[in-house]
Amino acid sequence: MEKRIIPVVFVNEQLIKIFSELIDTNNLLKTFKFKLANYSELEKYSKELLISDELAILELEDQKQNYEQIYVIKISDSIKSQGTNETNISTIFAPFKVKDILEQIEKFNFQRDTQNKRKIAFTKFIYDPTTRILSDKEKSIRFTEKEAKIFQCLFSSKDHFIMKKDLLEQVWSYSQDIDTHTLETHIYSLRKKIENQLDLQNLINFREKKGYYLNKEIL
């Protein structure tokens, strides 16, 4: 299996030396290898993961959101790294053990692979039940928990159609406090959200005496 390349962008000379030595032992790493890179080279690599230092990350401020995960190595208290409160950025403080960084990366790769296996691929769109995001190459939408349950019930229905009472039972556990009007309101809101954000018309449809169905052909 081909190893994943993780780009490394550093300003600090000491960190460059440390990771240069790691690159020389790439054959010892199981699933990935490091590649020292400059800013202009980053477009060559996957946007999964990036290793940086606190100075370099300031230069990459506009690019951070392109990466699923960034590890920022902080070696000086005199420099305040920006954006380290964001969920896709983890700060590693010196002194640090390279082994700890490797373990974090292995854990990230494992979690990502596990998540990818759960994703459902349609013709144009991909649905990730972990993040509740339906997306294509240009657009994406994030469902609320109730919207996600409705969507999953629709695309997983064995009979293609699903009756209102079955949706109520699966999404709301058929609570006596919930009626068909609540379901219809949620369906209407979900339809408009999909139309506005994904520009998909008539994805969720209804047929009398049969129930709701998902037009998977346009996904």
Helix (H, G, I), strand (E, B) or coil at 26: helix
pLDDT values of the chain reduced to their tens digit, one per residue, 219 residues: 577 788 999 999 989 988 888 777 655 566 788 889 988 888 888 888 889 988 888 777 665 557 888 889 887 665 454 444 456 888 888 888 888 888 888 888 777 777 777 888 899 999 988 889 999 988 999 999 999 999 999 988 877 899 988 888 888 876 556 678 888 999 999 999 999 999 999 999 999 989 999 999 999
Q: Which CATH number fits domain 4-117: 3.40.50.2000, 3.40.50.2300, 3.30.300.30, 3.40.50.720?
A: 3.40.50.2300
Helix (H) or strand (E) holding 34: strand 32-36
What would the CATH number be for the domain defined by 121-218? 1.10.10.10
Domain ranges of the chain: 4-117, 121-218
Nearest to 87 by CA among 69, 100, 75: 69
Hey, how many other C-beta atoms are within 10 angstroms of the C-beta on 212? 21
Distance CA 115, CA 135 (A): 15
- State how far the Cα of 81 lies from the Cα of 73, in Å rounded to an integer: 10
